[in-house]
């Protein structure tokens, strides 16, 4: 719930792959495009990779604290709730490590992202999760810590389930990131019936 704690947790989770995962996402975003970053957290994709490039960025998050923090740093951000707010149209729509928060409505989330995107949809999602740790205490803490503010979200994707889900849409690319910790999917909205 606090940007500094979130940043620290992400650094711990991704370790030496922390910076590289943002670079891999940014590498798939052409210079000069507009980007909407859903569940943007601390807006690290923008501050680390996209700031200073031509184009536009808008971070959207349910957590008002993240949005206030982003705005103080000059990052365009707004409070956003999937259940009632539309996804603004953009060249690229991004969702990083948050698809699990929308279970069981994840298909609807991807469909709405594809409708909002003109060039690409980029989704990264963990497939190795502390919430499924064999250590009951670690798993309990991980599930509680991942509450986006609406409710705890204990269910996570495994690799085969996420690949199956990705393949239901016009998938342009699917690669493992962060030493196999998560999958990145790039989808072509023009290949999806509108």
Nearest-angstrom CA–CA distance, 186 and 178: 16
Instruction: Give the pLDDT of the chain (194 residues) as one tens digit per residue.
Output: 555 555 555 555 656 666 788 999 999 999 999 999 999 988 999 999 999 888 999 999 999 999 999 999 999 999 999 989 999 999 999 999 999 989 889 999 999 999 999 999 999 999 985 545 444 433 444 444 554 454 455 578 999 999 999 999 999 999 999 888 899 999 999 986 54
Predicted local distance difference test score (pLDDT) of residue 155 = 75
Predicted local distance difference test score (pLDDT) of residue 178 = 81
Nearest-angstrom CA–CA distance, 139 and 130: 6
Give the predicted TM-score (pTM) of the model. Answer: 0.82
């Amino acid at each position: 719930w606090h940007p500094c704690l979130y940043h620290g947790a992400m650094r711990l989770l991704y370790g030496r792959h922390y910076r590289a995962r943002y670079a891999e996402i940014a590498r798939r975003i052409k210079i000069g495009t507009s980007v909407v970053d859903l569940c943007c957290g601390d807006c690290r994709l923008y501050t680390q990779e996209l700031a200073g490039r031509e184009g536009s960025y808008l971070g959207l998050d349910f957590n008002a604290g993240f949005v206030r923090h982003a705005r103080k740093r000059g990052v365009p951000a707004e409070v956003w709730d999937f259940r009632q707010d539309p996804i603004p149209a953009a060249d690229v729509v991004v969702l990083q490590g948050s698809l699990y928060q929308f279970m069981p409505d994840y298909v609807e989330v991807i469909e709405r992202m594809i409708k909002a995107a003109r060039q690409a949809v980029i989704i990264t999602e963990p497939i190795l999760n502390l919430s499924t740790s064999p250590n009951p205490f670690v798993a309990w803490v991980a599930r509680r810590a991942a509450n986006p503010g609406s409710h705890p979200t204990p269910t996570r994707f495994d690799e085969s389930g996420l690949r199956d889900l990705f393949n239901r849409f016009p998938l342009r690319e699917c690669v493992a990131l962060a030493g196999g910790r998560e999958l990145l999917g790039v989808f072509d909205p023009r290949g999806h019936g509108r």
